[in-house]
Amino acid sequence: MRVLVIGGNGFIGSRLMLALRDRGDSVIVVDRFPARTDVDWHEVRYLQADFHDHDVLDEVLPGVQQVYHSASCTVPSTADADPVLDIQGNLLGTHALLAAMRRHGVRRICYFSSGGTVYGNPQAIPVAESHPLAPISSYGIVKVAVERYLGMFQRQGWLDPVVVRPSNPYGPGQAVDGAQGAVAVFLGRALTGQGVQVWGDGETVRDYIFIDDLIRLTLLAADSACGAAFNAGSGVGTSLNDLCDRVRRGTGQALVAEYREGRAFDVRAIVLDVSRAWRELGWAPKVDIDTGIQLTWQALITT
Amino acid sequence: MRVLVIGGNGFIGSRLMLALRDRGDSVIVVDRFPARTDVDWHEVRYLQADFHDHDVLDEVLPGVQQVYHSASCTVPSTADADPVLDIQGNLLGTHALLAAMRRHGVRRICYFSSGGTVYGNPQAIPVAESHPLAPISSYGIVKVAVERYLGMFQRQGWLDPVVVRPSNPYGPGQAVDGAQGAVAVFLGRALTGQGVQVWGDGETVRDYIFIDDLIRLTLLAADSACGAAFNAGSGVGTSLNDLCDRVRRGTGQALVAEYREGRAFDVRAIVLDVSRAWRELGWAPKVDIDTGIQLTWQALITT
C-alpha cells in the first residue's frame, strides 16, 4: 500500500521507512532535511519540505492509506527554551497535516507521541497508558495537546488515529552527537575515548527500547483497527549510572562520567507498562538492553 | 495597587474591573472591543487592543502588580470549529502576554481557565481540582495547555500564577444574545416571549455560579499566596430542563423549550467540588440559583 512517512529522515522515521519499503509498501517521505546518506533510499520517493506545507501535502496525499508522523522541530530541551516555536512547528504544523488529510479523505495516522514526557512525574512506575497526562515540559504539553486533538477528530468521525508513545528509543542509526539518545551518545564517546556529561546525580531512570522493537510495534499498531495509545518501551528501568556501567562492560572502554546540574524539564524516573501492546497487538519487546548495546556498538565500529 | 485586566470588557472582566476599581485599585483594561456602555468606566484606563500586542503590553505593564487574564477569542463552539484560531489567539496570545510580564518583572497572574471543559467527562461528580485534566474539546485542550505552561513557568521561578476554573457564571451584565450563558439567554427569551433551543434532551447538567460569588473568589485567590487552581462553582448541579422550570417560576413567563441534536463538544454532566476554595481561602458561594435568577431578572427588566 501507499504510505507517507513524515520525518522519514530522522532516527525513528528512517528505520520505519526501511521496514515499510522492505515489506513492499510504496513509501513517500517528507522531511525538512536533505536525505541522510547512511541508509538506502532505493524505491522511496523523498521530498525535502516542511510537513505542514499545503502544496506538498496536496501533492503527496492522494492515494495514501497510512500516514506515519514522526517529525518534530524540537527536542525537550529546545522546546522548553522556545515554547512558541514548539507550538507553531509541532502543534499548528500537525493541524495543517490533519486538515490536509481531511481534504483528501486519508483517515489513518500513526502519531509518535512521547512516553517519557506526556505523563509528567508518574504517580507510580511502571506507568500505564491510563495514567493521567500531566506533562511538566513544553515538549510534553504539545504532545498531549496533539493527542487530545487526534481524539477529538476521531470522535468527529473523519480521522482514525493511533498513538505510539515511545520511551527512549536507541539503536543503529541514531546520531552519536545528537541532543537526544543517551545510549548513542555514550557509545559515541566510548568510541572516541571521551567522557560523558550526566545531568543530575545519574540516578535518573529511563526505559530504553531497541529501535527494531519500536518499529515492530508501530507497524502492528498502524495495521490494527486500534484507536488507542500504546506505550512503547522495554518495561525495564535503567539509570544513567547503570547505563554507563553497561556501556563500559559492553564495549570494554573506559567511560568517565562528569556530573552536571539536573534540568528542570527532566522527570525523575519513567518506566512504561507495555502490557496493553501485548494484550491488544500480541507484541512484546525482544531485545534487552545489553543485547541492544552490543548491536548498536557493532554497527558503530563497522561504519 | 495597579492591576491589569485583560478582557476587561467581557462579562467576567467588566464585573472584575468594577470590583477592583471600587476597592481602590488603579485599573487598566486591555480589550479588543470598544468599551461597553452599560457599565461605569470612571477612573479606569481603557485600551482597545489585542492583549498579545507587544507595544501595548510594554506600555501598560510597568508598575502593574496583578494581571487578570479573562480574554478569549473563542467560546467552546467556535473553538471546535476553528482550533487553529483557538491555538493562535489563546495559547500563543497568552505566551506573548507571559513573555511581556517576564520582561517587566510582573509575576502575579490570575488566569481564568474553564471548570466546564478542562476535566472532560468527569469520572465522578462533583469533580475536584485533582481530577485528571482530560479535555474533549479544543476550548478545553487550549485551557489545559495554558495551565500547564503556567505551572512550568512557575517552576522556572519567574511567574506566580493562580488559576480560577469557573463553571458556568451568570448574572447581570451577561449578554442575553451571546453564544454562552444559558441563564442569561433563557431570561432574555423569557423577556421577549420567545422559546429557547436546548441541545440534546435537556438533561445536560451544569454548575451555575453567580457572578458576584465568582468575583469574590477571584479577588481572594489573586490576593493570596496560592499557586494552585481553584474550582469556582456553586457545587450544585442543575439540568437545562430544571433551569427552564426555575426561569419559568422565577419570571412568571412561559418559556417553550425546543430540543435540538446534542453537540459533540459538550460534556454530559459537570458539577464542581469547591471545597478547596473553602479550605484555602475561606470562600463559599452565597447566592443560590433561584436568588441568582431573581437578581439577574430584576436587572434585566429595569434596563
Cell numbers linked to B214: 465568582
Report the C-alpha gap between A191 and A66 in whole angstroms. 39
| pLDDT reading at B263 higher than 90 | no
Whether the CB of B128 is below 8 Å from some CB of chain A: the reply is no
Residue B61 located in a structural domain:
yes
**CA A112 centroid distance within chain:** 6
pLDDT for the residue A261: 85
What pLDDT is attached to residue A262? 78
Look at residue A278 and tell me if it is in a domain. Answer: no
Minimal Cβ distance to B83: which of A80, A95, A264: A95
A101 domain residue, yes or no? yes
B67 with B122, same domain: the answer is yes
Q: How would residue B264 be classed by pLDDT, with cut points 50, 70 and 90? A: low
How far apart CA B17 and CA B45 sit, in angstroms, is: 10
Pair B137, B195 in one domain: no
pLDDT at position A303 over 90: no
Residue among B54, B102, B141 with most chain A CBs within 10 A, to mutate: B141
Q: Which residue has the higher pLDDT, B94 or B181?
A: B94
| CB contact (8 A) between residue B134 and residue A132 | yes
pLDDT digit string (tens) for A107-140?
A: 999 999 999 999 999 999 999 999 999 999 999 9
Q: How confident is the model at residue B128 (pLDDT cuts 50, 70, 90)?
A: very high
**pLDDT tens digits for A88-110?**
999 999 999 999 999 999 999 99
CB nearest B132 (choices: A132, A141, A145): A132
| Amino acid identity for residue A259 in this structure | Y
* Residue of chain B whose Cα is closest to the Cα of A157: B264
Which band of pLDDT confidence, cut at 50, 70 and 90, is reported for residue B177?
Answer: confident
CA distance B68 to A211: 47
CB < 8 Å to A89, chain B:
none
Checking if the pLDDT of B198 tops 90, the result is no
Instruction: Specify whether the CB–CB gap between B276 and B215 falls below 8 A.
Output: no
Q: Do B162 and B21 share a structural domain?
A: yes
Of A213, A212, A215, A251, which is closest to residue A235 (Cα–Cα)? A213
Q: Collapsing DSSP states into helix, strand and coil, what is residue A113? A: coil
Question: Does some domain include residue B282?
Answer: no
Question: In total, how many domains does chain B have?
Answer: 2
- The whole-chain average pLDDT of chain A stands at 95
- Residue pair A248/A290 in contact (Cβ under 8 Å)? The answer is no
Asked if A80's CB is within 8 angstroms of B92's CB, the reply is no
What is the percentage of chain A residues whose pLDDT exceeds 70? 99
| Per-residue pLDDT at A265 | 66
Q: Where are the alpha helices (DSSP H) in chain B?
A: 11-22, 54-60, 76-81, 83-86, 93-104, 138-156, 182-192, 211-223, 240-251, 275-281, 289-301
State which residue of chain B sits closest to A80, comparing Cα positions. Answer: B152
- DSSP states of A17-48: HHHHHHTT-EEEEEESSPPPSSS--TT-EEEE
| Rounded Cα–Cα distance for residues A154 and A162 (Å) | 10
- B91: closest chain A residue by CA: A87
Say if B155 falls within a structural domain.
yes
Chain A residues 60-99 with CB within 8 Å of chain B: 80, 83-84, 87-88, 91-92, 95
User: Once rounded to an integer, what is the mean pLDDT over residues A142-160?
Assistant: 97
Regarding whether B67 and B55 lie in a shared domain, the answer is yes
φ, ψ of residue A27 in degrees (nearest 5): -110, 130
Q: Nine-digit cell at A43? A: 524505491
Does pLDDT of A207 surpass 90?
yes
Gap from A293 CA to chain B (nearest CA, Å) = 34
Return the percentage of chain B with pLDDT > 70, whole number.
99
A259 is catalytic: no
User: At residue B254, what is the residue type?
Assistant: A
> Which secondary-structure segment (H or E) carries A247?
helix A240-251
Average pLDDT over residues A51-55: 95
B288 closest CA partner among B189, B196, B183: B183
Same domain, B176 and B95: no
> Would residue B278 count as lying in a domain?
no
Backbone φ and ψ for A257, nearest 5 degrees, come out as -95, 130
- The ipTM of this complex is 0.93
Q: In chain B, which residues have their Cβ closer than 8 Å to the Cβ of A145?
A: 141-142, 144-145
Among A95, A143, A148, A150, pick the best mutation site for testing chain B contact (most B Cβ within 10 A): A148
The parent domain of residue A248 ranges over 172-206+236-272+288-301
Question: Could you tell me which residues come within 8 angstroms of residue A198 by beta carbon, excluding any fewer than 6 positions away?
Answer: A240, A241, A244, A257, A258, A259, A260
pLDDT at B35 over 80: yes
pLDDT band at B265 (very low <50, low <70, confident <90, very high): low
C-alpha distances (whole Å) from A275 to each of A129, A234, A264 are 10, 10, 30
Of B132, B145, B264, which has the smallest distance from its Cβ to A141's Cβ?
Answer: B145
Residue B20 has pLDDT above 70, yes or no: yes
Q: B265: which chain A residues are within 8 Å (Cβ-Cβ)?
A: 152
Q: Which residue has the cell 479606569?
A: B44
Give the model confidence (pLDDT) of A228-287 as tens digits. 999 999 999 999 999 999 999 999 999 999 998 877 667 789 999 999 999 999 999 999
Same structural domain for residues A216 and A293? no
Residue with cell string 472532560: B120
- CATH code for position A267: 3.90.25.10
Q: Is residue B279 part of a domain?
A: no
Q: Are residues B119 and B255 in the same domain?
A: no
Give Cβ neighbours of residue B28 (< 8 Å, ≥ 6 apart): B2, B3, B4, B5, B44, B45, B47, B60, B64
Write the residue in B87, B152, B265 that is nearest to A87 by C-beta.
B87
Per the CB < 8 A criterion, the answer to whether B113 and B143 are in contact is: yes
Same domain? For A88 and A224 the reply is: yes
Q: Are residues B82 and B214 in the same domain?
A: yes
Catalytic annotation, pick one of A139, A149, A170, A259: A139
Interface check A149 vs B, CB under 8 A: yes
Give the alpha-carbon dihedral of A98, A100, A102, A105, to 10 degrees: -130
- Range of lowest pLDDT (A183-187, B142-146, B178-182, B254-258): B178-182
Nearest partner of A61 among A147, A132, A2, judged by Cα:
A2
Q: Is the pLDDT of residue A64 over 90?
A: yes
To the nearest whole Å, the CA of B152 is away from the closest chain A CA by 6
Regarding predicted confidence, which is higher, B112 or B302?
A: B112
Check residue A181 and give its pLDDT. Answer: 87
Nearest to B156 among A133, A134, A264 (CB): A264
Assess if residue B277 is contained within a domain.
no
Mean pLDDT of chain B: 95
Residue B268, pLDDT above cutoff 90: no
Q: What is A146-186 written as a DSSP string?
A: HHHHHHHHHHHTS-EEEEEEE-EEE-TTS-TTSSS-HHHHH
CB B61 within 8 A of CB B100: yes
Nearest to A122 by CA among A266, A237, A270, A236: A270
What is the model's pLDDT at position A264?
67
Q: For position A59, what pLDDT does the model report? A: 97
Query: Do A42 and A102 sit in the same domain of this protein?
Result: yes
All cell numbers assigned to A208: 530504553
Per-residue pLDDT averaged across B136-157, rounded?
97
**B248 is written with which cell numbers?**
419559568
Q: What is the mean pLDDT of residues B222-247?
A: 96
CATH number of the domain enclosing A165: 3.40.50.720
Q: Do B164 and B254 belong together in one domain?
A: no
Let me know whether A165 and A17 are in one domain.
yes
Q: Does residue A299 sit at the B interface (CB-CB below 8 Å)? A: no
First and final C-alpha spacing in chain B? 32
